[in-house]
């Protein structure tokens, strides 16, 4: 049953994607209402399946694929909500593709990393903040890539000026830094709640998570400072955003990937 639901959700994600792509290559109006309804159907099935995968008997199964699928769901839900107002059409094919792939992988390749957050509600707060900070900053990374693509199109004179589906370059840049600021605030709260609530945060085997997360926090802080104080923009912003995303990904998934996928522990 779970496999059928995962396949149906993936079909809906790709159906939404196929409705978007024609509008990115020409002035064809993207059917926003149809895309939104299709995406909501996929998100509903995704949420139902995540609840079944994560809420294991006697605890919560936070295997690496389940967490990756949960993050994909959060990113998909946020970008779907923003699709019309902020014209994030360029991001959605990537977002929906990853959501479909992650959900299918989590269903077909079940793992086990059972925790008991009901006994530690303060840790649940920390994990929730970590998930939302990571998701927000990954959206910022996608925005940075979108900014680079739009800038390249403008310089190459390939962008169709009358295409109503593509957002203005300056609007994307402004939104990028607003998203980074929100992500930095959430990451700050994640680190503070980690220090306050996770007693073995600096223990052997976990120290690298704190160190890498702190390094990412510094990178994003420097990026915000550079933009608001020195007017940083362009390629420097894009590369610094990617570095910050890389550090966070290593912090959140590095050791888990080695243990669960490579070693199989």
Structure tokens at 193: 């709640």
Same domain, 215 and 86: no
Q: Final residue of a domain: which of 63, 81, 113?
A: 113
Which pLDDT score is estimated for 203?
59
More confident call, 232 vs 225: 225
In terms of domains, do 88 and 134 share one? no
pLDDT of residue 14: 96
- Kindly state whether residues 96 and 133 are assigned to the same domain: no
Neighbour count for residue 58 (Cβ, 10 Å)? 8
160 and 184 within one domain = yes
- pLDDT of 201 over the 90 cut: no
DSSP states of the chain = -HHHHHHHHHHHHHHHHHHHHHHHSSSPPP-HHHHHHHHHHHHHHHHHHHHHHHS-TTSEE--HHHHHHHHHHHHHHHHHHHTTTS--TTTHHHHHHHHHHHHHHHHHS----EE-GGG-HHHHHHHHHHHHHHHHHHHHHHHHHHHHHHHHHHHTT-S-TT-TTSPPHHHHHHHHHHHHHHHHHHHHHHHHHHHHH-TTTTSTTTHHHHHHHHHHHHHHHHHHHHHHHH---THHHHHHHHHHHHHHHHHHHHHHHIIIIII--
So what's the pLDDT on residue 208? Answer: 78
Model confidence pLDDT, tens digit, residues 137-179 = 999 999 998 888 888 777 766 554 567 778 888 888 899 999 9
Lowest mean per-residue pLDDT among 11-15, 59-63, 200-204: 200-204
Mean residue pLDDT of the chain comes to: 86
Rounded (5°) CA angle 117-182-212: 60
Measured distance CA(185)–CA(192) in Å, rounded: 11
Residue 131 CB partners (closer than 8 Å, separation 6+): 67, 70, 71, 74
Examine the fold and report which residue of 113, 131, 159 is the final residue of a domain before the chain moves on. Answer: 113
Q: Give the count of domains, the chain.
A: 2
Q: Are residues 124 and 235 in the same domain?
A: yes
Q: How far apart are the C-alpha atoms of 97 and 101, rounded to whole Å?
A: 6
The domain boundary residue, chosen from 47, 80, 113: 113
Residue 158: per-residue pLDDT: 54
Q: Which residue has the higher pLDDT, 114 or 72?
A: 72
Q: Do 129 and 108 share a structural domain?
A: no
Greater model confidence, 209 or 181: 181
- Tell me: do 96 and 154 sit in the same domain: no
Based on the fold, state whether residues 126 and 245 are members of the same structural domain.
yes
242 and 211 co-located in one domain: yes
By percentage, how much of the chain surpasses pLDDT 90?
Answer: 51
Name residue, tokens 């510094």: 218
Do 71 and 124 fall within a single domain? no
pLDDT band of 256, cuts 50, 70, 90: low
Q: Using the predicted structure, report yes or no on whether residue 258 has a pLDDT greater than 60.
A: no
The answer on 230 and 148 residing in a single domain is: yes
More confident residue, 209 or 100: 100
Confidence of residue 128 (pLDDT cuts 50, 70, 90): very high
Enclosing domain of residue 8: 1-113
pLDDT, residue 195, reads 83
Say which range, 16-20, 54-58, 86-90, 235-239, has the weakest mean pLDDT.
Answer: 54-58
Q: Which residue has tokens 């550090």?
A: 247
For residue 263, pLDDT over 60 is answered with: no
Provide the pLDDT for residue 191: 92
Q: For position 136, what pLDDT does the model report?
A: 96
**Same domain, residue pair 158 and 229:** yes
Output the pLDDT for position 154. 74
Q: Give the model's pLDDT for residue 205.
A: 57
């Amino acid at each position: 049953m779970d496999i059928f639901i995962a396949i149906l959700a993936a079909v809906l994600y790709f159906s939404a994607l196929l409705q978007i792509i024609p509008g990115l290559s020409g002035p064809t109006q993207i059917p926003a209402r149809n895309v939104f309804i299709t995406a909501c159907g996929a998100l509903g099935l995704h949420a139902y399946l995540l609840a079944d995968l994560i809420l294991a008997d006697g605890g919560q199964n936070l295997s690496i694929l389940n967490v990756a699928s949960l993050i994909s769901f959060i990113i998909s839900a946020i970008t779907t909500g923003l699709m019309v107002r902020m014209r994030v059409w360029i991001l959605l094919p990537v977002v929906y593709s990853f959501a479909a792939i992650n959900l299918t992988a989590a269903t077909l390749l079940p793992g086990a990393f059972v925790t008991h957050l009901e006994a530690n509600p303060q840790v649940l707060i920390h994990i929730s903040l970590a998930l939302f900070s990571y998701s927000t900053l990954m959206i910022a990374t996608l925005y940075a890539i979108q900014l680079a693509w739009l800038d390249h199109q403008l310089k190459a004179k390939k962008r169709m000026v009358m295409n109503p589906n593509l957002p203005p370059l300056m609007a994307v840049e402004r939104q990028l830094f607003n998203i980074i600021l929100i992500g930095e605030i959430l990451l700050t709260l994640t680190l503070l709640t980690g220090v306050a609530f996770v007693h073995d945060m600096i223990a052997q085997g976990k120290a690298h998570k704190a160190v890498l997360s702190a390094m990412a926090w510094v990178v994003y802080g420097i990026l915000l400072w550079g933009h608001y104080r020195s007017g940083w923009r362009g390629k420097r912003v894009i590369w610094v955003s990617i570095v910050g995303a890389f550090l966070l990904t290593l912090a959140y998934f590095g050791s888990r990937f080695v243990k669960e996928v490579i070693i199989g522990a």
